[in-house]
Structure 1
Amino acid sequence: MTYYDIHTHQPAQHPGDIAVISMDLSSEPVRKRILSNRHFFEKQVSGQHSVQTTGYYSIGIHPRHADMKFMGSVREHANQPAIVAIGETGLDKSAAKDENEFRLQQKLFAAHAELSEDVRKPLIIHCVKAWGELLHIRKTIKPTVPWIIHGFRGNDILASQLINTGLYLSFGTLYHTTALKVAWQEQRLLTETDDKDVDIRNIYKQIANDLDIAEKTLSETITCFFKTRLALP
């Protein structure tokens, strides 16, 4: 059984498991790491088969580091085969010093959303205290690729509202079980480790236990998303 981690900051802990590693291109160390190897995001060909040697990634600018000048780097790499999603990006009112900074977050988020449509890759979203603005941008853009709220910790009412507009919810170590059940019922549930030092297999086990379902049943649903929407093995 393959375990999938939609949003993390470290490689998968087990061979065969798949992690989508988030890379914030506003970070100078991250940009240097990429620039030092121009083939960083490329697949290597072995015989008749493509082999992804560096892993799978999402790239974007975190709203806490909102600056349009880094958007060019995101666009430059967005079509690389190893990039399977755009983000994390989003809106975070708690990180905005004033209204101007929050408007910049919205502009940057919209740019990521439009890029995800252009390259046909899902959008990984960080959202804090800005659900109304998020849904307004979604209504304006009318996306056709999946939007995924990472690290969802809201209640079942908010979960239902977001899912009813077409969003997916990703759950990590902390969550409301009532929201988890809503996401599962609507088949809009994904799993992640984010920046926690935790095994994605333990997240699966915890979530399956809270849903009172077999771990294999949970795995089948998540695997279907990754194979059909991200085209991963």
Structure 2
Amino acid sequence: MIFADAHMHITDLDSWTPFIASEKASPVCSCAHCEKDWKKLTDIALRYPGFVVKAAGIHPQDPDKKHCLFLSDALEKNQADAIGEAGFDLFNPAYASRLDEQEQVWAFQLEAAVRYNKPLIIHCRKALHLIFRDAKKLAKVPSAVFHSFPGSPLEALSLVKRGINARFSFGKPLLNGNKRALLCASSLPMELLLAETDAPWQTLKGETATAPSDIQKVYLKICELRNVSIEYVCSSLYENFKDSFAIL
């Protein structure tokens, strides 16, 4: 079985190899947010061809325009498979104080996703209204992957109705009892779902890090919520993963 992981951070892990279940290795999408991490990510991807979707982006928690240089270079050389994670983070006053900078790098990345025809991975905390504001522009992006989607099923479906080729990814908040995540994962159409670990982040109480192998726990939770088999979830989410990231 294949447990595709739609969002993680290989460069923040001490080491990484593809997760193997039933003798099959599982692909991941991993993000890099600076030139140093991008080089590390591309080197790792070369060692595991076919198993790492490489995303380059400017994270809203560090919306420094200097990062536009490495992203532009990666896109010009057609080295980036996707852009992100990009978006907005208004979770606390420190992040919210940099909203103007977040707006600038978001606009840059949204424009780039359209220009280079790349999937866009979206980070959004306390800022879903800004995503809805830009729905018309997002509808021009080949696909939009909402990492750890914070909204309700109604909001997710409303984004799709606005013409956005969106998928909504969920991780360990499902294991932590997050009500919105649970409701989305249990009720959204299967073709809109993705699963992730955000490894090594998004830990549960008592954990110091999230392991890439925790993706299996997320899949099993989706099985429980929807009362379907693990084979069905693995197959469905793998197809969604391939479609989201334009993998043949």
Shorter-chain TM-score range: 0.7 to 0.9
**Aligned: 1:210 with 2:225:** yes
Match of 2:171 in 1: 172
Deviations 1:81-131 (A, max 9, x none): 663221011111235648772122112112111212222221111101111
Residue 111 of structure 1 corresponds to which residue in structure 2?
108
Look up the match of 2:87: 90
Matched residue type, 1:30: D
Could you say if the C-alpha distance between residues 205 and 68 of structure 1 is closer, same or farther in structure 2, counting changes exceeding 3 Å?
same
Unpaired runs of 5+ residues, structure 1, are 45-50
* Greater CA drift, 202-211 or 89-98: 89-98
Other-structure match for 2:37: 30
In structure 2, do the counterparts of structure 1 residues 181 and 53 end up closer, same or farther at CA, with 3 Å as the change threshold? Answer: closer
TM-score computed with the length of structure 1 as normaliser? 0.80
CA spacing shift, 1:96–1:122, aligned 2, 3 Å? farther
- 2:195 pairs with 1:191: yes
Matched, 1:121 2:118: yes
Q: 2:25 aligns to what?
A: 16
SS at match of 2:98: helix
Whichever residue aligns with residue 178 of structure 1, its letter is: L
Listed one character per residue, the Cα deviations across residues 173-221 of structure 1 (whole Å, up to 9, x for unaligned) are 11432211332x2621001000222521221111111111112222222
Gap runs ≥5 in structure 2: 11-15, 175-180, 202-209
Taking the aligned partners of 1:89 and 1:219, their CA distance within structure 2 comes to 27
Q: 1:57 aligns with which of 46, 54, 59?
A: 54
Q: Per-residue CA shift, 1:124-152, capped at 9, x if unaligned?
A: 11101111111212324542311111012
Tell me which residue corresponds to 2:177. none
Preserved CA contact (<8 Å) 1:155 1:179: yes
Q: CA RMSD in A?
A: 2.9
The equivalent residue for 1:151 is: 148
SS at match of 2:197: coil
What amino acid does structure 1 have at the position aligned with 2:123?
A: H
Contact (CA 8 Å) 1:6, 1:190: kept in 2 or not?
yes
Q: Distance in 1 between matches of 2:60 and 2:134?
A: 15
Instruction: State the Cα distance separating 1:230 from its structure 2 match.
Output: 2.2
Change (3 A) 1:199 1:141: closer
| Structure 1 stretch displaced more, 146-155 or 90-99 | 90-99
- Check if 1:40 corresponds to 2:47: no
Equivalenced residue count is: 220
Separation (CA, whole Å) in 2 of partners of 1:8 and 1:40: 16
- In the alignment, what sits opposite 1:101? 98
User: How much has 1:42 moved relative to structure 2?
Assistant: 7.6
Contact 2:197-2:214 within 8 A present in 1 as well: yes
AA aligned to 1:40 is D
- Aligned partners of 2:154, 2:242: CA distance in 1, in Å? 29
Partner of 1:225: 240
Q: Which residue of 2 aligns with 1:47?
A: none
Q: Normalization by structure 2: what TM-score? A: 0.76
1:8 to partner: Cα distance? 0.5
Distance 2:240 2:152 in 1: 23
